[in-house]
Protein backbone atom coordinates (compact mmCIF):
# COMPACT_ATOMS: atom_id res chain seq x y z
CA UNK A 1 0.00 0.00 0.00
CA UNK A 2 1.02 3.61 -0.62
CA UNK A 3 4.01 2.74 -2.87
CA UNK A 4 3.05 5.65 -5.15
CA UNK A 5 2.21 8.13 -2.35
CA UNK A 6 5.43 9.99 -3.26
CA UNK A 7 3.79 11.11 -6.50
CA UNK A 8 0.73 12.72 -4.89
CA UNK A 9 0.57 16.39 -5.85
CA UNK A 10 1.29 18.68 -8.79
CA UNK A 11 4.46 18.45 -10.88
CA UNK A 12 6.37 20.06 -13.68
CA UNK A 13 7.73 17.28 -15.89
CA UNK A 14 10.75 17.45 -18.18
CA UNK A 15 10.44 14.83 -20.91
CA UNK A 16 13.21 13.42 -23.10
CA UNK A 17 12.21 10.96 -25.83
CA UNK A 18 14.15 9.20 -28.55
CA UNK A 19 12.83 10.25 -31.92
CA UNK A 20 12.85 6.59 -33.06
CA UNK A 21 12.73 3.54 -30.82
CA UNK A 22 14.84 0.41 -31.31
CA UNK A 23 16.29 1.89 -34.48
CA UNK A 24 19.76 2.88 -33.26
CA UNK A 25 18.65 6.50 -32.93
CA UNK A 26 20.58 8.96 -30.76
CA UNK A 27 18.32 11.89 -31.65
CA UNK A 28 16.48 13.02 -28.52
CA UNK A 29 13.63 15.52 -28.30
CA UNK A 30 12.95 17.41 -25.08
CA UNK A 31 9.80 19.14 -23.91
CA UNK A 32 7.93 20.07 -20.74
CA UNK A 33 4.62 19.05 -19.32
CA UNK A 34 2.61 18.94 -16.12
CA UNK A 35 1.25 16.14 -13.98
CA UNK A 36 -1.23 15.82 -11.15
CA UNK A 37 -1.38 12.57 -9.20
CA UNK A 38 -3.35 11.20 -6.29
CA UNK A 39 -4.01 7.96 -4.44
CA UNK A 40 -7.22 5.97 -4.64
CA UNK A 41 -8.61 3.00 -2.72
CA UNK A 42 -6.80 3.89 0.49
CA UNK A 43 -3.38 3.81 -1.19
CA UNK A 44 -3.94 0.57 -3.09
CA UNK A 45 -4.27 2.49 -6.37
CA UNK A 46 -2.92 5.69 -7.90
CA UNK A 47 -3.76 7.79 -10.92
CA UNK A 48 -1.80 10.46 -12.73
CA UNK A 49 -3.14 12.98 -15.23
CA UNK A 50 -0.52 14.44 -17.56
CA UNK A 51 -0.36 17.24 -20.11
CA UNK A 52 2.54 16.68 -22.51
CA UNK A 53 3.69 19.61 -24.65
CA UNK A 54 5.27 17.36 -27.28
CA UNK A 55 6.63 19.32 -30.28
CA UNK A 56 4.77 16.87 -32.56
CA UNK A 57 1.55 18.04 -30.92
CA UNK A 58 0.43 18.41 -27.31
CA UNK A 59 -1.66 15.64 -25.80
CA UNK A 60 -3.08 14.37 -22.50
CA UNK A 61 -2.20 11.05 -20.95
CA UNK A 62 -3.00 9.11 -17.82
CA UNK A 63 -1.60 6.21 -15.88
CA UNK A 64 -3.61 4.02 -13.58
CA UNK A 65 -1.82 1.86 -11.04
CA UNK A 66 -3.34 -0.91 -8.92
CA UNK A 67 -1.82 -3.08 -6.22
CA UNK A 68 -2.63 -6.79 -6.11
CA UNK A 69 -2.66 -7.33 -2.33
CA UNK A 70 -2.25 -11.11 -2.77
CA UNK A 71 1.08 -10.79 -4.62
CA UNK A 72 2.30 -7.32 -3.61
CA UNK A 73 2.74 -6.51 -7.30
CA UNK A 74 1.59 -3.29 -8.93
CA UNK A 75 0.09 -3.16 -12.43
CA UNK A 76 0.44 0.08 -14.39
CA UNK A 77 -1.71 0.94 -17.41
CA UNK A 78 -0.80 3.92 -19.64
CA UNK A 79 -3.20 5.51 -22.07
CA UNK A 80 -3.38 8.80 -23.93
CA UNK A 81 -5.53 10.82 -26.28
CA UNK A 82 -3.50 9.91 -29.39
CA UNK A 83 -4.67 6.28 -29.52
CA UNK A 84 -7.78 4.43 -28.40
CA UNK A 85 -6.04 1.25 -27.21
CA UNK A 86 -4.66 0.77 -23.71
CA UNK A 87 -1.18 -0.72 -23.54
CA UNK A 88 -0.71 -4.00 -21.67
CA UNK A 89 0.14 -3.27 -18.04
CA UNK A 90 3.69 -3.34 -16.78
CA UNK A 91 3.89 -5.27 -13.52
CA UNK A 92 6.38 -5.02 -10.68
CA UNK A 93 7.28 -3.52 -7.31
CA UNK A 94 9.64 -1.26 -5.42
CA UNK A 95 12.74 -2.78 -3.84
CA UNK A 96 15.15 -0.54 -1.90
CA UNK A 97 13.60 2.61 -3.41
CA UNK A 98 13.78 1.44 -7.05
CA UNK A 99 10.55 0.50 -8.82
CA UNK A 100 10.93 -1.99 -11.67
CA UNK A 101 7.92 -2.87 -13.82
CA UNK A 102 7.95 -5.19 -16.87
CA UNK A 103 5.61 -6.25 -19.69
CA UNK A 104 5.54 -8.06 -22.99
CA UNK A 105 4.28 -5.92 -25.87
CA UNK A 106 4.84 -5.32 -29.59
CA UNK A 107 6.46 -2.54 -31.58
CA UNK A 108 5.70 -2.33 -35.29
CA UNK A 109 4.39 -5.89 -35.14
CA UNK A 110 7.49 -7.37 -33.47
CA UNK A 111 7.53 -8.67 -29.89
CA UNK A 112 9.38 -6.54 -27.33
CA UNK A 113 9.80 -6.29 -23.60
CA UNK A 114 8.93 -3.00 -21.89
CA UNK A 115 10.49 -1.78 -18.65
CA UNK A 116 9.49 1.17 -16.47
CA UNK A 117 11.90 2.27 -13.75
CA UNK A 118 11.01 4.69 -10.93
CA UNK A 119 13.97 6.12 -8.99
CA UNK A 120 14.71 8.98 -6.58
CA UNK A 121 11.20 8.55 -5.17
CA UNK A 122 12.21 9.85 -1.72
CA UNK A 123 13.24 13.22 -3.20
CA UNK A 124 11.35 16.24 -4.53
CA UNK A 125 12.49 15.24 -8.02
CA UNK A 126 11.62 11.59 -8.79
CA UNK A 127 12.59 10.09 -12.13
CA UNK A 128 10.75 7.71 -14.45
CA UNK A 129 12.21 6.01 -17.48
CA UNK A 130 10.97 3.63 -20.12
CA UNK A 131 13.15 1.14 -21.99
CA UNK A 132 12.46 -1.44 -24.69
CA UNK A 133 14.25 -4.70 -25.42
CA UNK A 134 13.99 -6.59 -28.70
CA UNK A 135 16.09 -9.53 -27.45
CA UNK A 136 14.10 -10.80 -24.50
CA UNK A 137 15.66 -8.43 -21.97
CA UNK A 138 19.36 -9.08 -22.67
CA UNK A 139 19.86 -5.46 -23.80
CA UNK A 140 17.68 -2.44 -23.04
CA UNK A 141 17.32 0.85 -24.91
CA UNK A 142 16.04 3.70 -22.75
CA UNK A 143 13.74 5.70 -25.02
CA UNK A 144 11.88 8.08 -22.71
CA UNK A 145 12.66 9.78 -19.40
CA UNK A 146 10.55 12.02 -17.19
CA UNK A 147 12.13 14.17 -14.50
CA UNK A 148 9.51 15.40 -12.04
CA UNK A 149 9.79 18.68 -10.11
CA UNK A 150 7.23 19.29 -7.38
CA UNK A 151 5.12 22.44 -7.75
CA UNK A 152 4.08 24.29 -4.61
Name the CATH architecture for the domain at 5-20+29-150. Beta Barrel (2.40)
Kindly report, residue by residue over 102-151, the tens digit of the pLDDT. 999 999 999 999 999 999 999 999 999 999 999 999 999 999 999 999 99
Alpha-carbon torsion, ordered 87, 54, 93, 67, to 10 deg: -60
Kindly report, residue by residue over 34-89, the tens digit of the pLDDT. 999 999 999 999 999 999 999 999 999 999 999 999 999 999 999 999 988 888 89
Q: What is the pLDDT of residue 87?
A: 80
Give which of 110, 115, 21, 122 is closest to 76, Cα–Cα: 115
Amino acid sequence: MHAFAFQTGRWRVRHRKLRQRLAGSTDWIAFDGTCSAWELLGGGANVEDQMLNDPAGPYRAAAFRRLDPATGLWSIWWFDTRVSAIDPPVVGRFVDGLGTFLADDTLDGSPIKVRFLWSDVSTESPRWEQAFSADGGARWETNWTMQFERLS
